[in-house]
Amino acid sequence: MTQPLVSVKDLSVQFTGNRKAQALSQVSFDLAPGEVLGLLGESGSGKSVTLRTLLRLHPERITQVSGSVQVAGQDVLSLQGKALNHYRGGVTSMVFQEPGLAFDPVYTIGQQMVEAIHAHDGVDMRTAQQQALQMLERVQIPQARRRLDAYPHELSGGMRQRAMIALALVCRPQLLLADEPTTALDATVQIQILLLLRELQKETGMSVIFVTHDIGAAVEVADRLAVMYAGRLVEMGDVAQVVQQPLHPYTRGLLASTVSAENRGQPLQAVPGSPPNLANLPAGCSFAPRCPHASAQCHREVPPTVLRGASALACWQPVSEGQVW
């Protein structure tokens, strides 16, 4: 059996600034080499926190992390100094939601890529510049040599996103974390970026964790889907299983509130209510106050994660086939 590239066990994250907020609670999942996992959920569900924890980007002074994170055989939560610097970019890289904020505005695209290559690979500047140029060409940036000397603000949104992907991939990471990489782009460019990511993933064989609000985008890119709510994984399985036969009421609600050919001309069935305050989570299942199928047990006890067929599910009242939201 192939060893997983990523193994996350009982990962919990609590922010302890002015008030405590439980951002993640006992999140567990594995990711095989070359696999793409899509993370779905509303804003505040813990998707971006999960990615940033995998890359150790949260300020340690106000962040309490428990559980374990193994990536390519390394204990990520114990890495320090040079080992952590090598892990960031050399083993795991990230494509941020807004590349205009991820790039340093006072350095050119080429300077930032060359610095990353030089730091991780130790090659001379001429070789690093050549590798940077090749990566820009690989992500289909026109006039790539000219773009090396361009500053981030001189590129369009789609170009900056491609440059961000090039920067993330230039040191050949084994794991790519993509945090809503198409949110700020128009629909045509979104499709181009999604297809590019999938093509590069297949070409390089890297694993990808892809965060999105767009279920259609997740279906195009992912092999498996994981649905998050209030810092917990509530359902996870193959794309076809989760989309065609969702078991968790929250997953069913997300799908019902998405525009599709089947519900054309009909009003969308939005999930009622709002996500809970992470600083004051309700007892039992966090989704129970919004769930039309909740029982007394749902309001009292946190459901464990159990296997149902090929899916993992955390729910006391899973929906049955044909049951409406």
Q: Where are the domains of the chain?
A: 6-261+268-313
Instruction: Please tell me which of 60-74, 177-191, 192-206, 298-312 the model is most confident about, judged by mean pLDDT.
Output: 60-74
Mean pLDDT of 277-293: 94
Distance of CA 10 to CAs 30, 141, 153, 288, Å? 12, 41, 41, 22
Q: How far is CA 46 from the centre of its chain?
A: 10
pLDDT of residue 217: 80
pLDDT of residue 68: 97
Mean pLDDT of 134-153: 93
Q: Which amino acid is at 66?
A: S
Share of the chain above pLDDT 70, in %: 96
Judge whether residue 1 has pLDDT over 60. no
Judge whether residue 52 has pLDDT over 60. yes
pLDDT of residue 325: 57
The mean of the pLDDT values for the chain is 90
Report the alpha-carbon distance of residue 45 to residue 47 in Å, rounded.
Answer: 6
DSSP state of 154: G
pLDDT of residue 324: 58
Question: For 37-106, where are the alpha helices, taking DSSP H only?
Answer: 47-54, 81-86, 99-102
Question: How would you class 118 by CB atoms within 10 Å of its CB: exposed for 0-12, middle for 13-18, buried for 19 or more?
Answer: middle
pLDDT of residue 101: 76
Q: What are phi and psi of 63, to 5 degrees?
A: -130, 125
Report the alpha-carbon distance of residue 51 to residue 166 in Å, rounded.
Answer: 19
Distance of CA 45 to CAs 33, 196, 293, Å? 26, 27, 20
Question: Whole-angstrom distance between the N-terminal and C-terminal Cα of the chain?
Answer: 38
Contacts of 77 (CB under 8 A, 6+ apart): 56, 65, 67, 68, 69
> For 183-235, what is each residue's pLDDT tens digit?
767 777 777 888 888 888 999 999 999 998 888 888 888 999 999 999 999 99
Helix H or strand E encompassing 266:
none
Give domain 6-261+268-313's CATH number out of 3.40.50.300, 2.60.40.10, 3.10.20.30, 3.20.20.105. Answer: 3.40.50.300
Rounded to 10 deg, the angle between the 109-121 and 157-169 helix axes is: 10
Judge whether residue 127 has pLDDT over 60. yes
Report the alpha-carbon distance of residue 302 to residue 143 in Å, rounded.
Answer: 55
Mean pLDDT of 88-116: 91
Order of strands across the sheet that contains 306-308: 92-95, 175-179, 207-211, 36-40, 224-229, 232-238, 311-313, 306-308
Contacts of 14 (CB under 8 A, 6+ apart): 20, 21, 22, 23, 63, 64
Q: Which of 119-123, 126-130, 196-200, 264-268 has the lowest mean pLDDT?
A: 264-268
